[in-house]
Chains A and B, each alone.
Chain A
Amino acid sequence: MNQVINLFRNFNIFLETDNTGKHLLVPPEYYKHWFESTAEWLQDTFDLEELRQSSLFAGREVILSGINLLDAYDDFKEIAKVFSDNNMAVTMQIEAIELYNHLEKVLDLAKNHIITAVCISIHKESTDISSPELMWEKLTETAVSLIITGAVNNLKTLSVFSSPSLNSQDIRICPYPEEGETYETLPENTACNCVEHLIISIGADGFIYPCLGLINIEKCAIGNITDDKAFYDSFIPFASKMIEQGPDISSSGPVANNSELAWFCRRHRYEVSHNE
């Protein structure tokens, strides 16, 4: 049961701006309400000793992602504070070019301990940044944790491997092939339990999913944060099965290479999306 409780330890939240571009699609107060009602459900469903053993009181993380989020800076900051005020580490996922254009806002969030990590994606559009070392230097001065992802050539263009600032601290880099899809088949011997990959993920419209791989596939949603209360009771048997056995997936055929997901996540998503 600890492993099921641990699903609620960390969250992956996607955010999107509304038509005005100045506010987020789902207002911050819904996230606050959802977080509080989820905490209540956990306390009602599991005993205190179980919750303690699962480290649910400490060492938690939330990842906030989206495009142009810093245009809705006030809303974004308010949502980040829902989690940082409850002692969760907040990781901000951002495109390198957006980071560069809004660096002062990100530095402000980092210096005030509202975010503790920044995950930076470097796509081709980001490689026009003229002075990346200055950006790396200012970021590393805040001691915020850094994760950088991107195609190898893009990483090299922004001096990720050679930057004295990035070399001076702990850093995680996820290198990808050149942008574009490649196809691959499943390996013969498969080990695919979901335990390392299950994380409550919330789409930009507020729908809640059991993992990143199923996000935005509405039939896989287990609820919505704009609803009145948490509703996870039916989620527990599904989660237990995923943890122990992994998803029901077929054993052959090509699947697109989305490097951010484990292969069986890609396969599961592909099959769920294409099945009635």
Chain B
Amino acid sequence: MNTLLENDIIKAKLLHDMPITFNGLVIENTNKCNARCAICYQSAGSENNNHIDINKAKKCIEEAITLDTLNPRFHLAGGEAFLYMDDCIDLFSTAKKAGYKTISATTNAFWCTDKEKAKNFCNILKDNGMTYIEISWDNWHKDFIKPKAIENCIMACYENEITTNLRILTTKSHSMEEALNRLDEKVIPYIGQITSSPVFAVGRATEVIPGEDFYLQRGGLGTPCYSSLNLTINAHGEVYPCCAGFDQCRDYSLGSIYDESIIDIVKRTNNDPIIRRLVFLTPSAFLPILKEKGVAIEEKCYNNCQLCSRIFSKKENIDIIKEHFEKRKQEAFLRFIEKLEAQLKTKKEESR
């Protein structure tokens, strides 16, 4: 096991030398959803109406794959991405032609209520490059989506060799077992994998779910997230380094695909001291900066994503952090000038 000093050296090396790399490109083509689940970290619903420009999105897909720091994976999400079926197929097809090796999407499977239509549509998706699908299902989706749609989606994907991930969220009152018991048990072996996580206490969830029902404080604040980043473009065309909450922190977007190319945005991000500190040293690295200005993050966080969201969802926190780094930049510049002046003085004295 590394000593504390060795850990500090590793952290310093990462912070200064390591390029920021991405596991894939994620595009959220809309923030509209036909469901309105209590646990949605985006607080998505039918009242949201942002829908990404399809041509801009396609251009990003084609450009992003040229990045050395991006794994050739493309993922489509929402809101509910499949509200715009034709766009989905167009984006998958673009990703396939561009050379992405894994092409996937997240969906609530509302489009699978008819078994034959589900199978036919999965066939089209497969033809257009889709290899993997994440299906959202839990206690909160049940009010909007029929279990039959989930079952049909699982089987249609299985028959088309599209790997499925059934994504379940839990609280103390609502378990994986409860969610799976609502499905025909015969389809469960055909699911590729089930991933389950506790609900984050952010956004709409905090308004609807009692505080004591959340699972909290299970460690996990020590591990940085640099190896699990996704280059994310939200429904507004704004770019973020992940899709686990930061993509909703609109006061700190890395740029907009409507104003500049994704390549330029990524290059700039790699040199952004705030993003580098966030991904290599964890969001906890900002707590002393905030504390110095009288801001304390009191609530216990389940993991880094939750802490990051808590910090960066407030403009006042971002302003404090930006000011801190601007000040450090100025101080570094002044130190540099002082050093130059001292060197100049020494040379003058030596030449006399």
On whether the two chains bind one another, the answer is yes
Contact between chains at B193 and A195 (CB < 8 Å)? no
Asked if B218 and A53 make an inter-chain contact with CB atoms under 8 angstroms apart, the answer reads no
- Majority DSSP secondary structure for residues of A touching B: loop
Distance A191 CA – B18 CA, assembled complex (angstroms): 33
Query: B1-30: contact bitstring with A at CB < 8 Å (1 yes, 0 no)?
Result: 110000000100110011101000000000
Q: Which of A112, A174, A178, A196 contacts B193 (CB 8 A)?
A: A174
17 contacts between A and B (CB under 8 A): A52-B17, A55-B18, A55-B21, A55-B227, A57-B13, A84-B1, A161-B176, A162-B176, A164-B175, A167-B196, A167-B198, A168-B170, A172-B193, A172-B194, A172-B195, A173-B176, A191-B161
> Which of A85, A151, A164 has a CB less than 8 Å from the CB of B1?
A85
Contacts of A172 in B (CB 8 A): 193-195
Contact A58 B215 (CB under 8 A): no
Q: Interface 1/0s, chain B 209-224, versus A by CB < 8 A?
A: 0000001001110000
If the complex has contacts A53-B68, A85-B1, A187-B160, are A173 and B193 also in contact, measured as CB distance less than 8 A?
yes
The verdict on B317 contacting chain A, using a C-beta distance below 8 Å, is no
Inter-subunit contact A113/B1 (CB<8 Å): yes
A253 CB–B CB distance under 8 Å: no
Q: Tell me whether B226 is interfacial, beta carbon within 8 Å.
A: yes
Q: Given A152-B189, A161-B180, do A196 and B127 touch, yes or no (CB 8 Å)?
A: no
B269 CB to nearest chain A CB (Å): 15
Chain A: interface residue count, which band?
A: 35 or more
In the complex, chain A residues whose CB is within 8 Å of the CB of B10: 87
A171 to B177, CA, bound (A): 13
The answer to whether B175 touches A167, judged by C-beta atoms less than 8 angstroms apart, is yes
What is the chain A residue whose CB lies nearest that of B7? A87
Question: Is A169 touching B198 in the complex (CB atoms < 8 A)?
Answer: yes
Cβ of B131 under 8 Å from chain A: yes
A189 within 8 A of B: yes
Interface centre among A58, A87, A143, A174 (most CB of B within 10 A): A58
Q: Mark B90-116, 1 if CB is under 8 A from A, else 0.
A: 000000000001100000000000000
**CB within 8 A of A174: which of B69, B129, B160, B192?**
B192
Give chain B residues whose Cβ lies under 8 Å from the Cβ of A151: 189
Closest Cβ of chain A to B10, distance in Å, is: 7
A residues within 8 A CB of B14?
Answer: 57-58
B residues less than 8 Å from A161 (CB atoms)? 175-177, 180
Partner of B126, one of A3, A167, A177, A191: A191
Known interface pairs A161-B175, A169-B218; 14 further A-B residue pairs with C-beta atoms within 8 A, sorted by A's residue number = A57-B14, A58-B227, A85-B2, A87-B2, A143-B218, A152-B189, A164-B175, A167-B215, A171-B196, A175-B189, A187-B159, A189-B123, A193-B101, A262-B163
Answer whether A170 and B101 are a contact pair too, CB < 8 Å, given A52-B19, A114-B1, A177-B189.
no
A59 to B224, CA, bound (A): 10
Any chain A CB within 8 A of the CB of B206?
A: no
Beta-carbon contact of B218 and A57 below 8 Å? no
